[in-house]
Amino acid sequence: MTTAAAAVETTVSSFTTDLRRLREEIGKMIVGQEEIVEGVVMCLLGGGHALLEGVPGLGKTMLVRTLAETIHATFSRVQFTPDLMPADIVGTNVIVEDHGGKRFEFQKGPIFANIVLADEINRATPKTQSALLEAMSEGSVTVAKQTYKLDKPFFVLATQNPLEMEGTYPLPEAQLDRFFFKLVVEYPDKDSLHTIVDRTTTDDVPKLEAVTEKGRILEMRELVRKVPLARQIQDYAVRVVLATHPENQEATPLSKQFLRYGASPRGLQAIILAAKIRALLEGRYAVAIDDIRHVAPAALRHRLILNFEGEAEGVKPDMIIAEILKATKEA
């Protein structure tokens, strides 16, 4: 084996090891949510942001806090409420006295952190939501004509509660599209509940360690983008995304019947990047069709827009995605 070959295999191996350690460390605190942890880590490495949907008390905040601690990153949390203003998130200029004079000084908002938890994002007004979403896509904020770059990695994890929809401002489709994944946090099973009780109601509280650091995360992000994939596999992903468009010839019966619009090219990008991360996580050097199938639901479910009939029948996007994945031929 040549030196270059050995080097690349070592790189992938260390990537896999680091990622496993990161998941294991998070797993010390977060029990029974392995898929969610994996999804969040994929978003972090894919350079995207995650939208978590789940009822209160399932450990969403704890997950983000734990993630920040394990990668030795700064963390901030914003609880979204209807009276929250954009300046409360991005920061504002305040007057300070200095050497007898007065001057404006920029007071940074909670968005200036590596990991930001936007709790119950749908409770804030669209104006405030868009301030955050703009920062998410640009990686910078502008206050009084002055642009401030956000520190990298910058990762937003927004949550929303599927219950109590009264008085909320649901995110429009165009803004939902900015999220890399939408992850649905399910209620833990019986065994997981036992473990949660054991860990949180006794003195035996697990201690977290920083298993990696920000710089390493950025390196891992670079490696992800280098992972190759065969043309036929990329073609499969393209056909899966096309099948979500009801007017396309690849569309399945359910998508024709219940969908108004399908996923955007951003959805396809998310699928491919996430599949690359999964390939590395599994210790492989290239993407497989199974990787596409594994990540497609999280990447597509918030990007499918149901039509009136779909809404009226209470159809879930996951059901349509499952049918698409089953119906789309591998080649």
Partner 1 sequence: MAQAIDTSAIRRLISWARRRIRTQRALDGAVTAMILAALLVAATTAAARAGWIEVMTAAIARGVALAIVAAGALISAAGRLDDELVARRIDRASGLADRLSTAVAFARPDARHDDTVTRDLMDAAIRDGVRATARADVRAATPYQRPKQLKAALGALVTIALALLVEPCTTPHTAHLVRARPDFGPPGAHATIDAEYLSPVPGNVFLGSLAKSRPITVLDWTPAAIDVKIPDDAPIGDAQLLVFAAGHSLGAVPFKVVDKKDIRYHREDSVALDPDEKAYVEAILAQLRDVAKRDQVPELDEFAKKLEQLLGQAENGEITKEQLLDALAKAEEALNKDAEPNQDEVDKKLADMGKELAKDPVTKDLGEALEKKDLEKAQQELEKLADKLEKKELTPQQKDELGKKLDQVAKQMEKQDQQDQKKQDQQEQKLEQQVKDLEKQAKDAKTDQQRADLERRLDDKKRELAKLQKEQEQKDQSDQRRALKRLQKDMEKAAENLEKPQKDQSGKDQDQNDENEQQASQKLKDAARETGRVDKDQRKQATQKKMSSQMDDLREAMRRAKQKGSKGPQDPFNKQGKNSDFAQRARGQKSGQGQSWKPGQQPGQGQGQGQGSNGNGSGAQQGGDTWGVGHDDNLEGDSTAKSGNTKDTDVQGVTGDKGGSTRETILAAAQKGFASQGYQKVYADYQRIVEEVMRTEKLPSSYKYYVKRYFAKIHPSMLAPAEDKK
The residues of the shown chain that bind partner 1, judged by CB under 8 A, are 1, 4-5, 7-9, 12, 223, 226-233, 282, 284-290, 308, 312-314, 330-331
DSSP E strand stretches across the chain: 50-53, 75-79, 91-98, 101-108, 115-119, 140-143, 146-149, 155-160, 181-184, 259-261, 305-306
Q: Which CB, 111 or 254, lies closer to partner 1?
A: 254
Q: How far apart are CA 36 and CA 185, in angstroms?
A: 7
Q: Which CB, 123 or 276, lies closer to partner 1?
A: 276
Residue spans of alpha helices (H) in 282-316: 289-300, 308-313
Nearest-approach distance from CB 242 to partner 1, in angstroms: 21
Q: How far apart are CA 281 and CA 148, in angstroms?
A: 34
Q: Which CB, 12 or 143, lies closer to partner 1?
A: 12
Q: How far apart are CA 205 and CA 201, in angstroms?
A: 8
Q: Which CB, 34 or 313, lies closer to partner 1?
A: 313
Nearest-approach distance from CB 321 to partner 1, in angstroms: 17
Q: Which CB, 9 or 198, lies closer to partner 1?
A: 9
Side-chain-facing half-sphere of 287: CA atoms under 13 Å:
27
Q: Assign residue 277 a region: left if phi > 0, alpha if psi is -120 to 50, beta otherwise?
A: alpha
Nearest-approach distance from CB 311 to partner 1, in angstroms: 11
Nearest-approach distance from CB 85 to partner 1, in angstroms: 16
Nearest-approach distance from CB 307 to partner 1, in angstroms: 10
